[in-house]
Amino acid sequence: MEKITSFTIDHIRLIPGVYVSRKDQVEGSCITTFDLRMTSPNDEPVMNTAEVHAIEHLGATFLRNHPVFGSKIIYFGPMGCRTGFYLLLAGDYESSDIVNLMIEMYEFIRDYEGEIPGASPRDCGNYLDMNLPMAKWLARKYLDEVLYDITEERLVYPQ
């Protein structure tokens, strides 16, 4: 069986960044999948499920309500390996096209106060598994170490 594209990326050389993972044509429209890599695979500890879950709820809420990109959001959710998130957007984009959006989103998460949207038994199947303080810490780390001064090596997968 042939490897899927995401398993052909050299995860030993991959560093945190914002990458175009793939582009798919669906009925004449492009869907761009982004790899929002927050931790260095197989190098730093993975994120725990509680903070991943909090980032997912906050990030999805922010993105779906965004005045420009809200209607283009197909999906935002965690990678199974817990080193980052996938973002699927309707349209043909490059990594650099969404850096400002990611800065906005991660600043929203970093600065968020109050109840996490959807963190109730009625709205979520595992509402108690949330860690807002750690989600905020990870958002700050990603902003400071990756997004604010992003370089080309963090926008294009290693060859």
* In-domain check, residue 158: no
Q: Which residue do the tokens 């990611």 mark? A: 102
* In-domain check, residue 159: no
* In-domain check, residue 15: yes
* In-domain check, residue 95: yes
d(CA 63, CA 69): 7
* In-domain check, residue 100: yes
The average confidence (pLDDT) of the chain is 96
d(CA 39, CA 45): 8
d(CA 113, CA 116): 8
Q: What is the pLDDT of residues 95-121, one digit of tens each?
A: 999 999 999 999 999 999 999 999 999
54 confidence band (pLDDT: 50, 70, 90): very high
The residue range of the domain holding 58 is 5-151
CATH number at residue 128: 3.30.1360.80
Query: Which positions ≥6 away from 42 have C-beta within 8 Å?
Result: 11, 12
Number of structural domains the chain divides into: 1
Q: What is the pTM of this model?
A: 0.95
- Single-letter amino acid, residue 159: Q
